[in-house]
Structure 1
Amino acid sequence: RPDALRQHFSDILSGMYSLGGQPDTAIVQQRIRLHPAFESITYKGIPDVRVILYRNEPAMAMLRLPTKASGGRANLHQGGIGTGIDLDSGVTHHAVQRNRFVERHPDTGWSVIGMQVPYWKEVLEMARRVARAVGLGYLGVDIVVDAEAGPMLLEANARPGLAIQIANGRGLLPRLQAIDALLDQPPRPVSLPRFRKAAPVPGTLRKSA
């Protein structure tokens, strides 16, 4: 309600929630709207995608789903679900809650395996752009998918943790080694085709005067 919102802003500015009761500043952020693709596998909150990038290339990704146990927050340590995502297709293939394998969302009963993350190519491209802008060799990029605006950046993490390995059911090292092998291979020499001089067509040569 407008009146309640106005009062809440007034309380913030007056310092009701600040240390020592000092005047404070209110920050208004855009509301993220739940994408319909996630309605059956989330509880109250907004899911997000974490992409681990190594040398600006996606190495691993997971979808974090809010649950009742996590208080509607997409936080694995508080009881949210982590679902590993296939990098090529954007489809979830493995899921854990509190480090235990799960197939269905505990609050909705819907399967969390085999779900297509919307705007997957755009999510990966946004993660790459963030990695190039930040300039770190290894980082995690958190992205949400808004119902209307599509992929939106939440934040970038210099220490994104290793729980993403459990969510995917596999380790990071082989993927990092594969990226190294891909980026460190010497460039292939380019051989240009040789053009032979065209042979004269019989009967077309003329003797110069």
Structure 2
Amino acid sequence: PDIRVIVFRGVPVMAMMRCATHASDGKANLHQGAVGVGLDIGEGFSVAAVQHGSLVTHHPDTGACFKSLRLPDWDAILDLAASCAEMTGLGYLGADIVLDRTRGPMLLELNARPGLAIQVANQEGLIHRLGIAAEIARTAADHDARIREAKIRFHRPEAVLQASDSAAAGS
């Protein structure tokens, strides 16, 4: 799987993990049947998981439960994604990151126009978060302060239970 982090003006705004499936032919493309797992910016745990636009609670091939998912090295992932915005000068981008067993988070690629399916995986739209991110970018003193404030403002501890519980109720 890879991790997509949307960054706006140096502020991590939204993230998801994309998990390949047999249906997606081993590719992490959501439109081909991969699972998108929305991730809490505050702590890197799963918020919701979707496949073909429908909520799911488990990986369709492995049976792994998404509800208990929490990514390691979350602070390093956000730091890398935010650093990419600073390096490129892009005001809005999607940083695709992979986790290497020995090296930790590594940049896979940057997207100047990342897709918007991340909103479905997070069960939330981007527009409100972009307004908050613009405010953070204006007021935060530096790179670390932007990330720290994003982790506070976009943290959704209740979302993991609500989304997963409602998906389980529908299965």
TM-score of the superposition, structure 2-length normalised?
0.79
CA distance in 2, matches of 1:75, 1:85: 17
Could you tell me which residue of structure 1 aligns to residue 123 of structure 2? 169
Structure 1 CA distance for aligned equivalents of residues 11 and 140 of structure 2? 18
Aligned to 1:140: 94
Aligned residues: 141
Aligned to 1:73, which of 2, 27, 51? 27
The Cα of 1:185 is off from its aligned counterpart by 4.8
Aligned-pair RMSD on alpha carbons? 1.5
Give the structure with the higher percent strand: 2
1:156-191 CA distance string (max 9 Å, x none): 00110100000000000111111122333599xxxx
Moved more, 110-119 or 134-143: 110-119
- Aligned equivalent of 1:151: 105
Q: Does the 8 Å CA contact 1:93/1:114 hold for their aligned counterparts?
A: no
Match for residue 17 of structure 2? 63
Provide the residue aligned with 1:95 in structure 2: 49
Alignment of 1:27-38 (within 5 A): none
- The alpha-carbon deviation at position 113 of structure 1 amounts to 2.1
Structure 2 CA distance for partners of 1:129 and 1:182, relative to 1, 3 Å: closer
> Which of the pair has more CA radius of gyration?
1
CA contact (8 A) 1:59 1:175 kept: yes
1:117 pairs, out of 48, 66, 71, with: 71
Unaligned runs of 5+ in 1: 1-46, 188-209
Question: For residue 119 of structure 2, what is the amino acid of its counterpart?
Answer: Q
Amino acid at match of 1:115: L
4+ residue runs over 4 A deviation: none
Counterpart of 2:30, as a letter, is L
The question of whether the paired residues in 1 share the 8 Å contact of 2:98 and 2:108 is answered with: yes
Tell me, yes or no, if the aligned pair for 1:83 and 1:167 is still in contact at 8 Å.
yes
Structure 2 residues without counterparts, runs of 5 or longer: 142-171
TM-score, with structure 1 as normaliser: 0.65
Distance 2:80 2:134 in 1: 21
Task: Tell me the secondary structure at the aligned position of residue 132 of structure 2.
Answer: helix
In the alignment, what sits opposite 1:183?
137
> Which letter maps to 1:165?
Q
Aligned equivalents of 2:78, 2:99: Cα separation in 1: 12
Q: Percent of aligned pairs with the same residue?
A: 50
Q: Does the CA contact (< 8 Å) of 1:52 and 1:139 recur in 2?
A: yes
Counterpart for residue 82 of structure 1: 36
